[in-house]
Amino acid sequence: MRRWGLIAAGVLLSIFSGIAPGASPHGSSEHHATPAPTSRMARTQVATEAPDFVLTDQDGRRFAFRDLRGKAVLISFIYTSCPDVCPVMFNVVTEVQQRVQAEGRGDVVSVFVSTDPEVDSPQVLKTFAMRRSADLSATTLLTGTPDELRAVWSAFGVKVNRRARGLVDPSPLTVLIDPRGLMRYRYLSGFPDAGIVAADVRNVLKGRPGR
């Protein structure tokens, strides 16, 4: 009985001190929570002509990439039912665009190419953008047939693995294209660095590559 009394006292002490049995005094149990995702951005400087393509925008209209000549373009590959990385990429690209536009440095537009044509219809893309208060005068979301999109993914070197309906695993790629239509930087990360990307956009608009 003395042994059980000591155990009960220990449990009560743990409860009143805010420490659950099996937990450390610092509040972390033996089953650690999954840490927040982190990803160092891989930034590659390039100088190759960007692929030309025609897809369908969020309003159901055909969109030709060549019509963006004369502007700096940030292209990212996302899908709307993505639970984590894609919204972050969308928000970072939008932040960069807004920063540079607010500085009056020149025209910069953002293009988001879907990696899930099964789900991402034009209306779904438009709803996704409007929920995030995107400026659709300078932001385009694109979808197309599976064959059309596969050609674009391949041209940019994006790998897309479909795991289930509404769940795919794409390369977390953002590309910066200059006003002449040349790819200048590739950023491989689900968590791009807005400061670095914004500096690259400014340099591209001035016609000077960064280091």
pLDDT at 63: 97
* Residue 153 structure tokens: 């993914």
Q: Judge contact between 119 and 166, C-beta under 8 A.
A: yes
pLDDT at 156: 95
Gap between the Cα atoms of 24 and 83, Å rounded: 31
How, if at all, do strands 160-164 and 139-143 pair? unpaired
* Residue 85 structure tokens: 């990385």
Gap between the Cα atoms of 159 and 115, Å rounded: 9
Continuous H helices in 1-118: 2-16, 85-102
Q: Judge contact between 49 and 83, C-beta under 8 A.
A: no
pLDDT at 208: 57
pLDDT at 14: 39
Phi, psi of 190 (to 5 degrees): -80, -10
pLDDT at 199: 96
In angstroms, what is the C-alpha Rg of the chain?
23
pLDDT at 166: 72
Q: What's the average pLDDT block by block, 10 residues per block, for the chain (211 residues)? A: 42 37 34 40 93 97 95 96 92 94 89 96 97 94 97 95 79 95 94 94 80 49
Domains of the chain in start order, with CATH, are 42-205 (3.40.30.10)
User: Helix 85-102 and helix 194-205: axis angle, to 10°?
Assistant: 40
pLDDT at 209: 54
